[in-house]
Structure 1
Amino acid sequence: MEGPLTAVSSDAGSRLRGSRCADCAVATYPADPACPRCGGPAEPVVLSGTGTLWTWTVQRYAPKSPPYVPPGAGFAPFTVGYVELAQGVRVLAVLDIRPEDAEIGMPMTIATGDGVPRATGAAV
């Protein structure tokens, strides 16, 4: 199902970029030069492109604009959720799945989108 934002490309350039603490190994998204846990220096890292759906909901009202730009046909509700990556990071993403197909714990693929991360159900 195509959501209200442009679909992501599947090339390697669409992977999420975060950071990992050089001292305690905590990963974050989006990237931050300092660790939120210990304050140590963090280094850029490319995050996993797969994870599991941690939780989800349906966005039933138009987000504030900018950055949201409603499509020409007007606003349509869409699914959003947190995808937990192997690094332990939970990333908020637009889910390109129907709400009735969303299931907590389901495998997901995630990549950058048009201003926001995008996730789809992954083949098992």
Structure 2
Amino acid sequence: MQAIAENLFTDEQPPRLIGGQSKASGRIVFPCPEGDEFEPVALSREGTLWSYTIQRFRPKSPPYQGPEAFEPFSVAYVELPGQVIVEARLTDVAFEDIAIGMKLEFAPMPFEKSTGETVLVPAFRPAAMAEAA
């Protein structure tokens, strides 16, 4: 299964997000911008929940490309220590169990587009899930 966008994840297993590091300042951003000012850098697989929200209604189309039958989902800002804060989905955790500061691990998840095509999107799950697997 392919990522929702090119150059989003590394090819290694397990994959990592690909950020961009400014050649001039060293600052890291996500995703990696095209051009000569940034070079790709693999981001940490582990992070901390910085903030989150629950998406309880179907977003406008476009840009939303998901199925017509909508189910609420959690969206997180995950701090990757010393690198950057990224926005991604949360997976494998009930809404009531989400807590700021919880330890997370990168775990891309399938997303079915309105076309029926399934792609991988950036997601994080509780680190305890990785230890149990």
SS in structure 2 of the partner of residue 68 of structure 1 = coil
1:12 is paired with a residue whose SS is coil
C-alpha root-mean-square deviation of aligned residues, in Å? 2.3
1:119 corresponds to: 124
Match of 2:65 among 49, 64, 68: 68
Alignment partner of 2:44 out of 27, 37, 48 = 48
Offset of residue 17 of structure 1: 0.6
Code of the aligned partner of 2:71: A
TM-score (ref. length: structure 1): 0.73
Structure 1 runs of 4+ aligned residues shifted over 4 Å read none
What is the CA–CA distance in structure 2 between the aligned matches of 1:33 and 1:42, rounded to whole Å?
7
User: Which residue matches 1:92?
Assistant: 87
Query: For the structure 1 residues 90 and 16, does the alpha-carbon distance in structure 2 shift closer, same or farther, using more than 3 Å as the test?
Result: same
Q: How far apart in 1 are the matches of 2:13 and 2:19?
A: 15
Q: 2:73 aligns with which of 35, 55, 78?
A: 78
**Could you tell me which amino acid in structure 1 is paired with residue 79 of structure 2?**
E
Unpaired stretches in structure 2, ≥5 consecutive residues: 1-11, 110-118
Distance 1:115 1:87, change over 3 A: farther
Structure 2 Cα separation of the partners of residues 78 and 91 of structure 1: 17
Residue 15 of structure 1 corresponds to 16
Q: How many residues align?
A: 107
When the two structures are superposed, what TM-score results if normalisation uses the length of structure 2? 0.69
8 Å CA contact retained: 1:16, 1:112 = no
Q: What letter is aligned with 1:62? A: R
**Counterparts of 1:24 and 1:111, CA distance in 2:** 29
Call closer, same or farther: CA 1:31–1:112 in 2, change over 3 Å. farther
- Matched-pair contact (CA < 8 Å) for 2:73–2:89: yes
